[in-house]
């Protein structure tokens, strides 16, 4: 009896600690959101308002009507979607080839992939920029970003997926082969559907990486017409007097798609981390 | 053409697109950055690049700014890595039980991880604002721990503190998830046996949980250290390396040299040194990864 009561007290204590932690983790987001609903005069009041009075959607209207945000948003979508498709397709093809086939130089290539896994993308940016800047047509072109986003991180993705393909039973593919399905058909109709959970995790990683990328696009996209959301936000943030409320309306707009994807596909997020151990 | 030969060709066709892009976009740039670091590189294609051997490196090793950036990067890693691991481990321990709201907690703790560095850095700059910022309000008006507003980001002595705080806050969720995955891999029978022997929860934690978590702890240590060395956007957004270079880190210094002053050769030399450090850490990681499935 006494044990039961003390166990209950411990459980309540644990719950309180977790709640406190969750507040620390999420309150900055709440604060960002309510600041985006404040009028300019209320941005730095002491004490800070925790519920905006008066609350207004004016900042969102300002961002959407008076800045180029809609264009940035469209640019971000136009770049991100094809880049993700390209990235996922290339990664799955590569991983599948390594998992199921033997070809000359296979081991050498795979060791190479693994050896360069730890090379941070940031370090390649100088030579990569030098390559792109030498070809006039690639500069200030959204297609460049679709391509670079599409071929980014292939080493890691192939490494991440290969283990999954190797663990998949080969019998389905073998029986399909006997039924006369060619390699491509086997890949599309049998392997791909089975690999959906891992491919889902990969798609999400790819999405976050490309949607949030700031530095590389800012080097390539020089004209305002081509800017993506992060570039727009950073420019806005760099202006002489920062209008925090309008700026946060912008960041909320940029964060919204990520939150939607996060809530809908949380299972894949968790999976990509627990299985792949990757660091975002 | 024999069947065996055909299979080899098909396999090659599968990996070819990925392999070519990898060679062109990862391997070639790696080699190229080594080469560029030996040149006085000119971004104007009409002016030839000048080969200067190891001069960029000799200059680098006499550059006080480089040492300052290296020191800041190491400090950032030394502070944020244990911070993320300790908090992540605590939360994982508390969450590792059957309870209501476990999924919701996981979701909330992981929120900072999925938010882009650009957004959270802007947000933290606002929270740490000198006048009217939330942090100063909490410390001064609510808790009375300080007498007057601290100008966090404009004082060289305190400018790293918001950057550390952000680094830890953003990484806890990832650390927690990895630890949770590790904890769930520990066989339940061990705990059952221990409780039959009358072990209390402190004993089970120190005698069972911690020893069995060693591979996971090592894995996190390496991943987070590499992550720590890569710190960039938080510095770039919040302070731009200032005030007076007090928050400059390796990557931000490299970017300044390369893309503000267009010293591509010198920037490459910085990134090669950086690469050697990270690569060394990664080699250790590979040795540890091999042991990751210890239990």
To probe the interface with B, which of A88, A127, A236 has the most B CB atoms within 10 Å? A127
- Positive or negative: CA dihedral A162, A164, A166, A168: negative
Q: Which two tokens stand for residue A188?
A: 């599309």
Residues with Cβ < 8 Å from A62, sequence gap 6 or more?
Answer: A246, A249
Can you give the pLDDT at residue A275?
66
Cis peptide before A159 (omega within 30 of 0): no
Which sequence spans correspond to the domains of chain B?
A: 63-293
The yes-or-no verdict on residue B293 having pLDDT over 80 is no
Q: How many CB atoms lie within 10 A of CB B156?
A: 13
Contact B265, B40 (CB under 8 A): yes
Can you give the pLDDT at residue B286?
65
* Segment A12-26 mean pLDDT: 95
Nearest CA in chain B to A275: B181
Instruction: Give phi and psi for B133, each to the nearest 5.
Output: -70, 150
Looking up tokens 């050896």, which residue turns up? Answer: A115
Quote the minimal CA–CA distance from A89 to chain B in Å: 9
Q: Name the CATH topology of A66-275.
A: MetI-like fold (1.10.3720)
Can you give the pLDDT at residue A47?
83
Structural Rg of chain A based on CA atoms? 24
b/e A129-143 (16+ beta carbons within 10 angstroms → b): bbbbeeeeebbebbe
Q: Confirm or reject contact between B181 and chain A (CB < 8 A).
A: yes
pLDDT one-digit tens code per residue, A46-66: 888 888 888 999 999 999 999
Q: Which helix (H) or strand (E) holds B51?
A: strand B50-51
Can you give the pLDDT at residue B102?
87
Q: How many CB atoms lie within 10 A of CB B49?
A: 17
Lowest mean pLDDT among A47-51, A255-259, B158-162: A47-51
The yes-or-no verdict on residue B214 having pLDDT over 60 is yes
Dihedral, CA atoms, B226, B232, B233, B236, nearest 10 degrees?
170
A244-264 and B117-127 helices, crossing angle to 10°: 130
Predicted TM-score (pTM) of the model is 0.93
Of B111, B129, B282, the CB nearest to A118: B282
Q: CA B18, CA A94: separation in Å to the nearest integer?
A: 6
On the 0-12 / 13-18 / 19+ scale of CB atoms within 10 A, B145 is exposed
Contact A132, A138 (CB under 8 A): yes
The yes-or-no verdict on residue B191 having pLDDT over 80 is yes
Q: CA B76, CA B247: separation in Å to the nearest integer?
A: 10
Structural Rg of chain B based on CA atoms? 24
Nearest Cα residue to A257 out of A48, A65, A96, A81: A81
Mean pLDDT of chain B: 91
Q: pLDDT confidence of B290, banded at 50, 70, 90?
A: low
Can you give the pLDDT at residue B291?
60
pLDDT one-digit tens code per residue, A123-157: 899 999 999 998 999 999 999 999 999 999 899 89
- Sequence length of chain B is 295
Mean pLDDT of chain A: 90
Q: CA B135, CA A256: separation in Å to the nearest integer?
A: 26
Contact A131, B45 (CB under 8 A): no
Q: CA B138, CA B124: separation in Å to the nearest integer?
A: 14
The yes-or-no verdict on residue A91 having pLDDT over 70 is yes
Which sequence spans correspond to the domains of chain A?
A: 1-55, 66-275
Between chains, do B177 and A270 touch, taking CB under 8 Å as contact? yes
Of A219, A255, A274, the CB nearest to B115: A255
Q: Which helix (H) or strand (E) holds B40?
A: strand B39-40
Q: Confirm or reject contact between B294 and chain A (CB < 8 A).
A: no
Residues 139-178 of B with CB under 8 A from A: 141, 169, 172-174, 177-178
Between chains, do B25 and A152 touch, taking CB under 8 Å as contact? yes
Q: CA B38, CA B265: separation in Å to the nearest integer?
A: 7
Lowest mean pLDDT among A144-153, A223-232, B86-95, B184-193: B184-193
Between chains, do A118 and B226 touch, taking CB under 8 Å as contact? yes
Of B107, B119, B126, the CB nearest to A254: B119
To probe the interface with A, which of B10, B15, B279 has the most A CB atoms within 10 Å? B15
Contact A207, A80 (CB under 8 A): yes
Task: Pick the more confident residue, B287 or B235.
Answer: B235
The yes-or-no verdict on residue B55 having pLDDT over 50 is yes
pLDDT one-digit tens code per residue, A158-198: 988 898 898 889 999 999 999 999 999 999 999 999 888 88
Q: Confirm or reject contact between B279 and chain A (CB < 8 A).
A: yes
* Segment A100-120 mean pLDDT: 88
Can you give the pLDDT at residue B100?
82
Q: CA A27, CA B123: separation in Å to the nearest integer?
A: 11
As a whole-number percent, the residues of chain A with pLDDT over 70 amount to 96
Between chains, do A233 and B119 touch, taking CB under 8 Å as contact? yes
Can you give the pLDDT at residue A279?
47
Between chains, do A254 and B230 touch, taking CB under 8 Å as contact? no
pLDDT one-digit tens code per residue, B60-98: 999 999 999 999 999 999 999 999 999 999 999 999 987
Task: Pick the more confident residue, B199 or A151.
Answer: A151
CATH architecture of the domain with residue range B63-293? Orthogonal Bundle (1.10)
Cis peptide before A47 (omega within 30 of 0): yes
Q: CA B266, CA B280: separation in Å to the nearest integer?
A: 22
Alpha-helical regions (H) of chain A: 2-35, 58-66, 69-100, 106-115, 125-134, 142-151, 154-167, 171-178, 183-186, 192-194, 196-212, 215-220, 229-238, 244-264, 266-276
Q: pLDDT confidence of B295, banded at 50, 70, 90?
A: very low
Can you give the pLDDT at residue B112?
96
Q: CA B271, CA B37: separation in Å to the nearest integer?
A: 9
Q: CA B10, CA A186: separation in Å to the nearest integer?
A: 12
């Amino acid at each position: 009896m006494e044990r039961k009561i003390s166990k209950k007290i411990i459980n309540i204590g644990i719950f309180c600690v977790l709640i406190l932690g969750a507040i620390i983790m999420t309150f900055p987001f709440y604060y960002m959101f309510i600041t985006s609903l404040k009028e300019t005069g209320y941005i730095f009041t002491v004490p800070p308002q925790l519920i905006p009075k008066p609350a207004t959607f004016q900042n969102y209207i300002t961002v959407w009507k008076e800045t180029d945000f809609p264009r940035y948003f469209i640019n971000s979508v136009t770049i991100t979607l094809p880049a993700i498709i390209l990235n996922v397709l290339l990664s799955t093809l590569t991983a599948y080839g390594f998992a199921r086939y033997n070809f000359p130089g296979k081991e050498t290539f795979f060791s190479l992939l693994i050896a360069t896994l730890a090379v941070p993308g940031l370090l390649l940016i100088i030579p990569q920029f030098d390559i792109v800047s030498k070809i006039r047509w690639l500069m200030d072109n959204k297609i460049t970003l679709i391509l670079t986003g599409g071929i980014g991180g292939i080493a890691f993705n192939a490494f991440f997926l290969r283990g999954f393909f190797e663990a998949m039973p080969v019998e389905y593919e073998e029986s399909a082969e006997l039924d006369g399905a060619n390699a491509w058909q086997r890949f599309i109709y049998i392997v791909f559907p089975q690999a959906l959970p891992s491919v889902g995790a990969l798609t999400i990683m790819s999405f976050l990486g490309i949607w949030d990328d700031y530095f590389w696009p800012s080097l390539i996209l020089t004209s305002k017409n081509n800017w993506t959301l992060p570039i727009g936000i950073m420019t806005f943030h760099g202006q002489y007097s920062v209008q925090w409320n309008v700026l946060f309306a912008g960041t909320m707009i940029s964060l919204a798609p990520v939150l939607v994807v996060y809530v809908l596909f949380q299972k894949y997020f968790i999976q990509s981390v627990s299985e792949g151990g990757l660091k975002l | 053409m024999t069947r065996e030969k055909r299979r080899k060709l098909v396999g090659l066709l599968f990996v070819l697109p990925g392999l070519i892009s990898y060679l062109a976009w990862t391997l070639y740039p790696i080699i190229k950055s080594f080469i560029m670091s030996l040149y006085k590189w000119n971004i104007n294609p009409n002016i030839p690049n000048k080969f200067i051997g190891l001069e960029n490196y000799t200059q680098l090793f006499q550059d006080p700014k480089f040492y300052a950036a290296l020191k800041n990067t190491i400090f950032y890693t030394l502070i944020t890595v244990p911070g993320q691991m300790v908090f992540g481990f605590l939360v994982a321990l508390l969450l590792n039980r059957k309870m209501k709201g476990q999924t919701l907690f996981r979701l909330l703790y992981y929120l900072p991880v999925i938010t882009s560095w650009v957004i959270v850095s802007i947000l933290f700059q606002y929270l740490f604002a000198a006048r009217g910022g939330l942090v100063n309000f909490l410390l001064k008006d609510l808790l009375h721990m300080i007498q007057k507003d601290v100008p966090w980001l404009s004082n060289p002595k305190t400018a790293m503190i918001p950057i550390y705080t952000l680094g830890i806050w953003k990484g806890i969720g990832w650390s927690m998830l990895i630890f949770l995955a590790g904890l769930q891999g520990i066989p339940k029978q061990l705990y059952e046996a221990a409780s039959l022997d009358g072990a209390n929860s402190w004993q089970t934690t120190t005698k069972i949980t911690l020893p069995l978590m060693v591979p996971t702890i090592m894995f996190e240590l390496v991943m987070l250290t590499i992550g720590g060395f890569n710190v960039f956007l938080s510095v770039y957004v919040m302070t731009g390396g200032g005030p007076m270079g007090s928050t400059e880190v390796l990557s931000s210094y490299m970017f300044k040299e390369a893309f503000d002053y267009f010293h591509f050769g010198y920037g490459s030399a910085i990134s090669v040194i950086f690469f050697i450090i990270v690569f060394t850490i990664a080699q250790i990681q590979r040795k540890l990864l091999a042991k990751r499935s210890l239990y």
